[in-house]
Amino acid sequence: MADEAHSEQLLSEVAALPALPGVYRYFDAQGQLLYVGKARNLKKRVSSYFQKNHDGTRIGHMVSRIVRLETTVVRSEAEALLLENNLIKTLNPRFNILFRDDKSYPYLKITGTRDAAKAAGRSTSASTLFPRMAYYRGAVDKRHSYYGPYPSAWAVKESIQLLQKVFKLRTCEDTVFANRTRPCLLYQIKRCSGPCVDLIHQADYLHDVANAEGFLRGETQAVLQTLEQRMLAHSEKLEFEQAAEIRNQMTALSRVLHQQTMEMGDDQDVDILAVKVQGGRACVNLAMVRGGRHLGDRPYFPAHVDDASAIEELLTDTADDGSGGTAAQDATERTAVRVLEAFIAQHYLGAPMPAVLVTSHAVGKPLLEALTEQTGQKVHAVHNPREHRRLWLEMAQKNAGIALSRLLAEEGSQQARTRALAEALQLPDDELDALRIECFDISHTAGESTQASCVVFEGHKLQNSQYRRYKIDGITPGDDYAAMRQVLARRYGRIAEALKAEAGEGALPPGTVAVAPAEAQHDIEAADQASDKLPTAGPRMPDIVLIDGGKGQVGVAREVFEQLGLDLSIIVGVEKGEGRKVGLEELVFADGRSKVYLGHDSAALMLVAQIRDEAHRFAITGMRAQRAKVRMGGSQIEDIPGVGPKKRARLLQRFGGVRGVAAASVEDLATVEGISVELAEAIYRALR
């Protein structure tokens, strides 16, 4: 039976679970989170994992690793669903369908509009007197209006260009606006009405702002009616030039509305969600309609689809909370529904959502109830839509299929490259998914700000969350060999020591270069220190240590590995070919093997070049940032209490660098978004 492999304590905890809604979490012997699940009845759901023999399956692999169980009882199934996806999103369990957020969504921002009415008739900032529109990503400020979110930066910029053509709103920074003495090029090409030099009255400009906001909200007919009324009013007063300007606005707006063929019906804010499952991978395509305008789409690719689907298949017949489908349902369709529901639950946690979702598959009632409870508004999901919504959904489904096909092709190509490299290096090809390559590169400018980079390739792709940079100190400037010696010793010193201790060989031999605690202080990123710590599952060396260099750098690596007692066969150098031409590189080995020429069209060389180039890029960007900080004193600003990375970036952007910030007055500093007068005074004092 399945429960024979588990401790009596774990099984007794399972037997003692209450028949209440809640969330459960499984952990392995190293304390790593395996799976997070929800249940309407915790006792029945959790017991189902331990009542069958799952040997040889994905679910069996997971269940065999469970040594600890945690549960949280909640009031309802909807609350359980929200908690489950909060935990999935923050803890990244190994066997759950997981959508990773790569970045926040961008918005179109119109400044100061919420204060304009209160500020009427009073002298105030340019943002309120003549609001500007801008691309924005970040925290919301209540003084301004935000429209979106948009699926991409391109969609925001396209909307800004559209509004420039029709309503001619300014996009310049307040400091530029305040110091203009003649109109800019945008005025000349009829993309701005020239408020900076009083070529438009403030009241007329605010009318244009109000119409632009109405257009963004989808109130196109109301905007056209308002413009028509203003045009007629000017005509009655014989102000024909002003009437002609408004007529041109109406013509431009009508042309835009005619070109927007996707805008049909009365929909204001809608999200269209289409899912496609194929080849063990899935894609969710999210298309956005805001203010009646179709803004574009964006694909998402979840992790762990196969593992999570296998676990859910186990629960299809035994679960009582409605998460599984009927036996007649196709397995792919059931997986698609689970992927779609996982995306909806995770994507809209803490994010704004429209009242209507158009979906390619039917969504469960408990999920909609949970979203309604979270947002405070009734959430509707429309399956099998009609008319224009069907057109939207068909387009989203087509785009999901295209994006997934592209991903599968790229992954197939990457796997072929991994296999080709393993064959070239005579490595076993039975566990290519676990093949780990770490590549090192050194970067500096005439010895200044020397840095080493380490990039990691595993699971057929580069793992940028595991990249590390090392600040190199205590060497002769420009000595790349000494820099490589230091970074390899720091990277592998503790692992070598732990491996020897694990083998019962005691401490490292005399003369070994080990990682001293003080050396960790030189690491640029805090995560760098964490990377030196051994994982709870035990130390693991990479399968290949790739060195961007020839015999000299490989010789240095061999010396370090000999001192540390590590395997020399995993060291591989990339030596430039004749004339340093791309495609003629050769692989150099530390264990005495002959050089290997892979061929200019070799898939193995393509992978080596990809990893090496990424290491070089990562090293040089870090070196440049460090050099700029040393030369410009960039850290001085961030060292001021109350000034974080975002405020520092705004200051540097506004004043063109640290010197510009230092030369600015308190009044100028206070005009920067997020900088109060008190903080401006503190910055002023700190930089003098």
Q: At what angle do helices 305-318 and 331-347 cross, to 10 degrees?
A: 110
| Rounded distance between C-alpha atoms, residue 290 and residue 310, angstroms | 37
Give the position of tokens 């042309």. Answer: 255
- Answer yes or no: are the C-beta atoms of 368 and 379 closer than 8 Å: yes
- Answer yes or no: are the C-beta atoms of 292 and 324 closer than 8 Å: no
- Answer yes or no: are the C-beta atoms of 149 and 114 closer than 8 Å: no
- Residue 366 CA to chain centroid, in angstroms? 28
Q: What predicted TM-score, i.e. pTM, was given to this entire model?
A: 0.61
Identify residue 682 by its one-letter amino acid code. A
CA distances from 99 to 61, 92, 96, 275, 302 (A): 22, 9, 10, 13, 5
- Dump pLDDT digits (tens) for 8-64: 888 888 889 999 999 999 998 888 899 998 888 899 888 888 876 666 566 777 888
| Rounded distance between C-alpha atoms, residue 129 and residue 296, angstroms | 33
Q: Measuring CA to CA, which residue among 357, 356, 329 is closest to residue 343?
A: 357
With b for 16 or more beta-carbon neighbours within 10 A and e for fewer, the 628-656 pattern comes to eeeeeebebbeebeebeeebbeebbebbe
| Rounded distance between C-alpha atoms, residue 32 and residue 44, angstroms | 24
pLDDT at residue 651, rounded to an integer? 83
Identify residue 41 by its one-letter amino acid code. N
Identify residue 544 by its one-letter amino acid code. I
CA distances from 650 to 104, 127, 488, 638, 671 (A): 18, 16, 38, 12, 11
| Rounded distance between C-alpha atoms, residue 657 and residue 397, angstroms | 47
- Dump pLDDT digits (tens) for 119-158: 444 445 666 788 888 888 877 777 788 887 787 788 788 8
For residue 282, what are its two tokens? 């899935």
Give the chain's radius of gyration (CA, Å). 30
| Rounded distance between C-alpha atoms, residue 121 and residue 125, angstroms | 12
| Rounded distance between C-alpha atoms, residue 382 and residue 380, angstroms | 6
Q: Which domains does the chain have, with CATH numbers?
A: 2-91 (3.40.1440.10), 107-259 (no CATH), 270-406 (3.30.420), 432-624 (3.30.420.340), 633-686 (1.10.150.20)
DSSP string, 452-486: EEEEEEETTEE-GGG-EEEE--SS-TT-HHHHHHH
What kind and span of H or E run contains 340? Answer: helix 331-347
For residue 409, what are its two tokens? 């092709």
> Residue ranges of the chain with pLDDT lower than 50?
1, 116-123, 258-265, 317-328, 507-538, 630-635
Strands (E), 53-159: 68-73, 107-110, 133-136, 145-147
